[in-house]
Structure 1
Amino acid sequence: MQSINALSALVVLAMVCTQSAIAQTRFGAQGAEGEPNRMQQWLLPSPDPATPAHAVLFRPPGDGPFRLAVIAHASTQNVLRRAQMPQPEYRALASWLVVRGFAVLVPERPGHGATGGKYLEDQGGCDEADYSHSGRATADEIAAAAGYVRTQPFVRQDGMLIVGHSAGAWGALALARESPQDVSTIVAFAAGRGGHANDLPDQVCAPHTLMAAAGEFGKAARVPVIWLVAANDSYFSPELSKQLANAFRAGGGKVDFYVLPASGSEGHWLAESESGVKIAGPTLDRALKLLASTAAKKR
């Protein structure tokens, strides 16, 4: 009985300490700016009150206000791989955006790396994968981080750009329901979930379910999407990606789909490498300018 009471006391003490630590969390910048591009570590709110999200922020010179670009990282269903993930930075892609006048936020979502906590975007098993839930959960995580940074004086309140990669891009598609006044454009690099099923290239868990969820996201979409995939992506091939983009479009979403040249030995990681960003840059530049021109004509 004494050992049970002692254990209960330890559990209560741990809960109190955890709640106290959460209450004392200081969101915002956690240190001085550094290179490249005024890189700075931040702590941000997440949908899980017990788990502040780690993030990096990059900024152009000056005080702003700057348009905000949020980069949403890839993920994995494997618990150990998620725990061991280094903090995502996407330095080459962030630099590309900073040069174009964006403040760039790269938040690490709960269940990953240093942020830890509960994995909120779990899609479930391969055969019964719930891609709608995982996408919306990821969207909520992106929105929580972006919402805090948008309160900062160096950030403009309009024209936010959401750039997603893989599972992050899948979550970004769920954010296409947002007001165009808040989010101007979504860029989806190799959007999808369930790729490399059983660690096999060109195998996807429940592809028909993935297609149905893409159509569901398209029904509520109000923000235009630029969908990019490398020719040698073995997680979500150009053929499957085009089918997903078409399902999103058929649901009612506006999407411009582009197949990019092959990147390295595995095109799925194009968004993470300097060489990949060089491949994607010209197409992305043209697509963003075209959307901006179209939007200006409608005003």
Structure 2
Amino acid sequence: MAPSACGGEAVSWFTSRGYAVALPLRRGYGASDGPYAESSTCPGAAFEQAGLESARDILSAIDYARTLPDVRGSEPVIVVGQSAGGWGSLALASRNPAGVVAVVNMAGGRGGWAQNAPNTNCRPDLLADAAGAYGRTARIPVLSIYTANDSFFAPAIARNIQQNYLAAGGVMEVHNLPAFGSDGHNLFFARGGSLVWGPEVERFLAPFALAQAAPRRT
């Protein structure tokens, strides 16, 4: 694995609106250091713990980004995660870290394509339970986006994640979108994807007034 290119569509959407963007790889992914710490295999399906390990790495990346010369350490932070990164962003919201004002979960989850079959999950009940565990302590506003043809997290699975998170007390705005391309799981980084998710993200972030007048770089 490798980070998205700085000129990629998803990244450019944010930088063109004045955001500084960090693109971290978590432990065990690509060329990043450290052992992989997010194992959540069945039958135990430790989805909650796997997400919290992801959140640890996201927080470390935020702390580092705040030291960079082009970033003011006091600037508010939004976290955008896709797939397992989206699941980690929900876990991060449960920790309510200082300075993080909003989270965007793009097709977040764990355990998709169980036994190499689309639209399946090895333990969807435990995935929903873990979402509820995050929601019990999370107070950061979350935007949650899934599509109708997500091969990892089918609509029923996505709804259970969202409903459990909300029922437990989490703050979440839900947008379940129509089918996108051949697999909506790829919406965030896909060509033309920002035309679909961009308006929803822009409306969600507007109250936080985070964007600056001048474009920023990654």
Please give the TM-score of this superposition, normalised by the length of structure 2.
0.89
Q: Distance in 2 between matches of 1:228 and 1:182?
A: 23
Q: Distance in 2 between matches of 1:193 and 1:179?
A: 21
Name 1:192's counterpart in structure 2.
109
Counterpart secondary structure, 1:259: strand
1:262 pairs with 2:179? yes
Counterpart secondary structure, 2:21: strand
May I ask how many residue pairs the two structures share in their alignment? 206
Name 1:66's counterpart in structure 2.
none
CA offset digits 1:32-61 (Å, max 9, x no partner): xxxxxxxxxxxxxxxxxxxxxxxxxxxxxx
Q: Distance in 2 between matches of 1:159 and 1:178?
A: 16
Q: Distance in 2 between matches of 1:169 and 1:247?
A: 16
1:250 pairs with 2:167? yes
2:3 aligned to 85, 88, 97, which one?
Answer: 88
Q: CA deviation at 1:239?
A: 2.5
Q: CA deviation at 1:122?
A: 1.1
Q: Percent identity?
A: 40
Structure 2: stretches of 5+ with no match in the other structure: 210-218
Counterpart secondary structure, 2:133: helix
Counterpart secondary structure, 1:274: coil
How is 1:43-54 mapped onto 2 (pairs within 5 angstroms)?
none
By relative contact order (CA 8 Å, sep 6+), the higher-ranking structure is: 2
Structure 1: stretches of 5+ with no match in the other structure: 1-84, 294-299
CA RMSD after TM alignment = 1.6
CA offset digits 1:209-242 (Å, max 9, x no partner): 1111100001110201000012211111222212
1:134 aligned to 42, 45, 50, which one?
Answer: 50
| AA partner of residue 284 (structure 1) | V
Q: CA deviation at 1:188?
A: 0.2
Which has the greater radius of gyration?
1
Kept in 2, the 8 Å contact 1:158–1:183? The answer is no
Counterpart secondary structure, 1:103: coil
Name 1:280's counterpart in structure 2.
197
How is 1:116-265 mapped onto 2 (pairs within 5 angstroms)?
117-123=34-40, 125-156=41-72, 157-179=74-96, 181-265=98-182
Counterpart secondary structure, 1:252: coil
Structure richer in strand, relative to its length: 1
Q: Distance in 1 between matches of 2:92 and 2:75?
A: 15
Q: Distance in 1 between matches of 2:91 and 2:183?
A: 26
Kept in 2, the 8 Å contact 1:263–1:275? The answer is no
Q: Distance in 2 between matches of 1:115 and 1:256?
A: 32
